[in-house]
Structure formats: C-alpha cells, structure tokens
Amino acid sequence: MRFVVGHKNPDTDSIVSSIVLAYFLDCYPAKLGKINPETEFVLRKFGVMEPETIESAKNKEIILVDHSERSQSLDDLDEGKLIAIIDHHKVGLTTSEPIIYYAKPVGSTATVIAELYFKKALDLIGGKNKELTPDLAGLLLSAILSDTVLFKSPTTTELDKEMAKKLAEIAGVKDIESLGLEILKAKSVVSKMEPEEIIKMDFKDFNFNGKKVGIGQVEIIDISEIEDKKKRIKELLEEKLKSEGYDLILFMITDIMKEGSEILVIGNKEMFEKAFNVKLENNSIFLPGVMSRKKQVVPPLERAYQ
Amino acid sequence: MRFVVGHKNPDTDSIVSSIVLAYFLDCYPAKLGKINPETEFVLRKFGVMEPETIESAKNKEIILVDHSERSQSLDDLDEGKLIAIIDHHKVGLTTSEPIIYYAKPVGSTATVIAELYFKKALDLIGGKNKELTPDLAGLLLSAILSDTVLFKSPTTTELDKEMAKKLAEIAGVKDIESLGLEILKAKSVVSKMEPEEIIKMDFKDFNFNGKKVGIGQVEIIDISEIEDKKKRIKELLEEKLKSEGYDLILFMITDIMKEGSEILVIGNKEMFEKAFNVKLENNSIFLPGVMSRKKQVVPPLERAYQ
C-alpha cells in the first residue's frame, strides 16, 4: 500500500498536500498526528474527510510531502520504501537509493502541487492529470493562505499568488482575502487552548550538527490571546528541554498583524544570540519582520551551530 | 553569474546535461575536470564545444546536475549560492535553505531534462521552453546511451528508451544502436590508456557513516583490453588507499558484452564481503549482472556500513 504523508504535528499544508496528492497519485493520504483547529475548520468548510493516522512505515510505500527532515517524519521511515518527496523546504535528508524528489522554494507545498496540476505535469512525478474538483481546489487555496499567512510571510512568491487566484476560480471562492481571515481566525484559537496544546500545535525537531533543537510556532492576531499563558508555556518548555534532551528550544509567537515574532528562548541562549546577533535581556525578544521559521529562523541557527 | 555543473571526473551525462540545461536556463555550462575520450567523441560528432572548467563556487550561483554528493562536487560549494539540483541519483546532501530539487530514478540526467523538454515543463525549474536543436538532441541521446550502456544497465527505464527515440528523430539519428556502439567503442579506449588514466576516468568518492570509500569503474567490450594492466591498477589503488585515507576502494571492470563486472577490492575486504554476501578468494571477484555502481554497488555497501 502506498501512502502520502506530511510531517508530525501536521499543519494545514501537510494535511491538504497529502489529501490532494494522494488523489492524483491514486493512493492513500495519511497523517502523523491530530489535526489542529485551523485544519479542522478548512476540512469542514470544503467538506473533505481527514486522512487516517499511520504510525509505522513498515510494509508501506511512502511519499513524503511538506517535509524532508527525518526528525519530523515517521520514526521508522527506513522500514518502509521511500518513493518520493514533494516539498518546499530545504533538503533535510539523504537517501540510499534514487527517489523522485521535487521541491521548489515557494510559500507552500500546495503551491508546488497546484503548479504541477495547471501545467498538466503531474505525470512527471508518477501521477495522473485528472480534473481538480472544487473541494480539493478549496483545500489547496486554504493551505497556500495558511502557509503564507495571507501572503504576508517573506516566503511568499508570485507563484503562490498566481496559484491562489486560479484555485479560487475552481473552488468558487470569490473573496480570497476574507477566506484567509476566516482561516487565520480559526488558527488563532489559542485563547481557548491550554498551554500544553499550544506548544504541541506546530512544533518541529531539528538536528543541527548533532544537537537536538526544537522550534515551535503559534500565530496570533492579538497579543492578548496568549499574554497570560506565556509564563506557563515557558515552564513547560523548560521541562521539555530537560526531559527530551534538547540543546535549545525556540518558541515563536508570531503576531500576524504586527508582522513580527516574539521568540521565547529556552536552553542554549548563547547560540541564539550568535545566530541572530542580538543580546537577550531576559528569555525572550521581539524580532520585527520575522514570521517564517523555515526561511528566517532555521538558516541562521543552522549556520551558528556549524 | 550562474553555472550548471556536473560532477568531478565528468562523464558524458554530466557534460551533456550541463550544456543542454544551461541552454534552457540561459546561463553557463561548466565542468570540474578534463572530459574523457567518450565525451570528446560525442561532442565532436555533434559539433558542440566543451564547457569551461571552474574551480570555485565563490560569487557564483550554482546548479548541480548528475550528482548531489558534496564529495563529487565543487570543494567550496558552500561559498556559492546553490540554486537547484537536477539529478537521477540518490539524495546525497542536505541544504540550509530551500532550493529547486528535481530528481527521478531513471537511467540518466539527460532523460530527466529530455522529459521536461517534451512536456514543455522546463519553466517548472526556471527554464524557458525553447526549441531543442538537432545538435543538442544528439548530445542528450548520446548521454542516455552512455549512462544506460545501450539500455543494458539495470538502471534503464522505459522512459529512457522513449526519450531516446524522440531525441533521435530531432537529431536525425536513424540507427540508435549503431550510434550506441560507436559511443561504447570510444569509451572503450582503455587498451590505449595508461593505468593512471584508467583509474581516474570515472572515479567517485563517497562518505559512508564517516568512512571514505572510493568506487571507480571502467567499461570494456573485451577483457583483453585491460587484462595486462590489472596488476598495475591494483598497485596504484593500494597506494591511493593509503595516501588519501580511504577505508575501501572498489574498482569495477564492467564487461558490457558479458553483462557483469569484475570488482577489484582494496582495503576493508570484510565490509565488501558483508555487503555482497560473498567470500573473496583473492582481491577480486566477478559479479554477473552487476553493471551499475549507483544501483547495485552503492546501496548494499552503504547499508553494510551502517
């Protein structure tokens, strides 16, 4: 059996990419954990079922979407047969056999899939050029809006905007902006969530030069949504750092309206200061303009660890 | 300035892929060392100039073709800006920023480029869908024939054959088989070469779990071409092992007509025996059916080193 699967702590782009790519490749979508409230909203809005959860790669053919880091993937990835990777992140793994690899530096994996569809080029990666249904077009559009934070993230490219427009036509979405705000609002449900859940919602592990580093992110529209929970979040992250052997944990509280992130820094403070060339007063700092973990946080940090 | 560059010890696929992709991407082809007699024959046959040699990535934008191993690439790759990788090998590196990555498990990089051309999909990787000229079609065809050893290598796919046929039409090549034999003959010039040159012709370095491993290959049509040079080749490889810190060196003498390879094993013999589940009598063994370094030698060896 062949499965398309996104990363742990799945976000909307991971879930949507696995659903839509599985449709074109005639195989099964899968996920590695519970979907978040934003994804739940998107799936309900367009009337699509969530993928099944899988826990092992054993006896499976695996296609990875929206990640290429082993630490973010199935724990026993090597027990399965890796067929392909479709992604928009940096190259995060090596393989022992040739596979299909297709990645582009654009705002979302949904953008990559949408472009293949509109170019009738899905057969390049082993898919069929079938018709994209309005519900699946709505999912891809939502994933683009989510991953690019309504085109405000610095990872946004012209291709993301172009694909969003074309997808909106198929999906029958007249006002992209207002769909985007609906999605952001659904994402920004942290005021109703427990600190434990907030941390887990979008947390990714990295391996930088042998050191374990965790980077979490939460997007908010208004700082008041999270202000009274920050103390507890810090405590939980300090526990996590110790019990799970992290060298450093960063937690990005990204303010969509202010277009910047407050970074909570737990653990190897010096490495963070070196990477961002800043001096920490306490354990946190607001970095204006920083909204993308992938593009603005991971690269300087990885360089600092070298 | 932007350059498309293949691997060290360039073979025909590396040189041809850099020339043709540079044409579609409107940038410069480059190479990392002297071309071999086969490539020289192919370039002369279709009247195309060889690419310039570059030695550093500094101040350059780099597109890698036909490899993704750092050990086979520019020594100072990280000093340049890596833009894209177009390949048909296993994923051999990780990056610190997102790039364009497009690879498929087919017989040659030329096949990957030809498919993008015939699908009018070169814009997916930042190229222009211009017309493929007969001379460049002849080069791509030659690279497919060379890398798949006239479709006899187990890496050969249906796509390689399909692309070869379409390219032959554009190139005005009526008899693919006889072009293939001409190329193999040009490749098989070992009888006129010194052992020193034979070793260097197609030698690749790998890093398996921290150990340096070298795998060379020479293709012959008749064993008599190389028989009297084997002793000297072994001596030279033993010196190379010691002076350059290899854990293991394999040298594949691939007999195209017999469809198998004699493997000279220098260094960590036990690891070779473990990888291929064989017992060595002396320092060499003939493995029937083994013709591909990439598909039949690297994977079991990499697993053995884990």
Annotated binding residue at B67? no
For chain A, where are the alpha helices, taking DSSP H only?
A: 12-25, 37-46, 109-118, 134-147, 158-171, 176-187, 195-201, 230-243, 269-276, 298-304
Residues in chain B whose Cβ is within 8 Å of chain A? 85, 88-105, 115-116, 119, 121, 123-124, 294-295, 298-299, 302-303
Q: Please give the residue of chain A at the shortest CA–CA distance from B159.
A: A124
Of the residues A81, A86, A123, A124, the best mutation for testing chain B's interface (the one with the most B CB atoms within 10 Å of its CB) is A124
Contacts of B83 in chain A (CB under 8 A): none
State how far the Cα of B240 lies from the Cα of B260, in Å rounded to an integer.
25
Closest among A152, A248, A166 to A204, alpha carbons compared: A248
Annotated binding residue at B88? yes
State how far the Cα of B100 lies from the Cα of B82, in Å rounded to an integer.
9
Annotated binding residue at B13? yes
Burial grade of B55 (CB within 10 A; 0-12, 13-18, 19 or more): exposed
Q: Which of A101-105, A293-297, B264-268 has the lowest mean pLDDT?
A: A293-297
Q: Contact at 8 Å (CB) between A62 and B54?
A: no
- Nearest CB partner across the interface for B99, out of A91, A96, A298: A91
Of the residues B64, B79, B89, B96, the best mutation for testing chain A's interface (the one with the most A CB atoms within 10 Å of its CB) is B96
Burial grade of B43 (CB within 10 A; 0-12, 13-18, 19 or more): buried
State how far the Cα of B98 lies from the Cα of B83, in Å rounded to an integer.
9
Q: Is the ipTM here above 0.85? A: no
Burial grade of B144 (CB within 10 A; 0-12, 13-18, 19 or more): buried
Tell me if A105 and B99 make a contact (CB, 8 A cut-off).
yes
Domains in chain A (CATH in brackets) are: 2-187 (3.90.1640.10), 190-304 (3.10.310.20)
Q: Contact at 8 Å (CB) between A155 and A294?
A: yes
| pLDDT tens for each residue of A211-234 | 999 999 998 877 777 888 999 999
Closest among B77, B87, B70 to B54, alpha carbons compared: B77
Per-residue pLDDT of chain B (306 residues; tens, 9 = 90+): 999 999 999 999 999 999 999 999 999 999 999 998 899 999 999 999 999 999 999 999 999 999 999 999 999 999 999 999 999 999 999 998 999 999 999 999 999 999 999 999 999 999 998 999 999 999 999 999 999 989 988 899 999 999 999 999 999 999 999 999 899 888 767 777 889 999 998 999 999 999 999 999 998 877 777 888 999 999 999 999 999 999 999 999 998 878 899 999 999 999 999 999 999 988 999 999 999 998 899 999 999 999
Closest among A164, A140, A174, A184 to A38, alpha carbons compared: A184
Grouping H, G, I as helix, E, B as strand and the rest as coil, residue A276 is helix
Contacts of A115 in chain B (CB under 8 A): 124
Annotated binding residue at B26? no
- Neighbouring CB atoms inside 10 A of B277's CB total 8
Annotated binding residue at A26? no
Q: What is the DSSP letter of B293?
A: I
State how far the Cα of B221 lies from the Cα of B288, in Å rounded to an integer.
15
Contacts of A107 in chain B (CB under 8 A): none
For chain B, where are the alpha helices, taking DSSP H only?
A: 12-25, 37-46, 109-118, 134-147, 158-171, 176-187, 195-201, 230-243, 269-276, 298-304
| pLDDT tens for each residue of A237-280 | 999 999 999 999 999 999 887 889 999 999 999 999 999 999 99
Tell me if B124 and A115 make a contact (CB, 8 A cut-off).
yes
Tell me if A100 and B103 make a contact (CB, 8 A cut-off).
yes
The percent of residues in chain A predicted with pLDDT above 70, rounded, is 99
Contacts of B98 in chain A (CB under 8 A): 88-90, 103-105, 294-295
Q: Please give the residue of chain B at the shortest CA–CA distance from A206.
A: B96
Amino acid found at A212: K
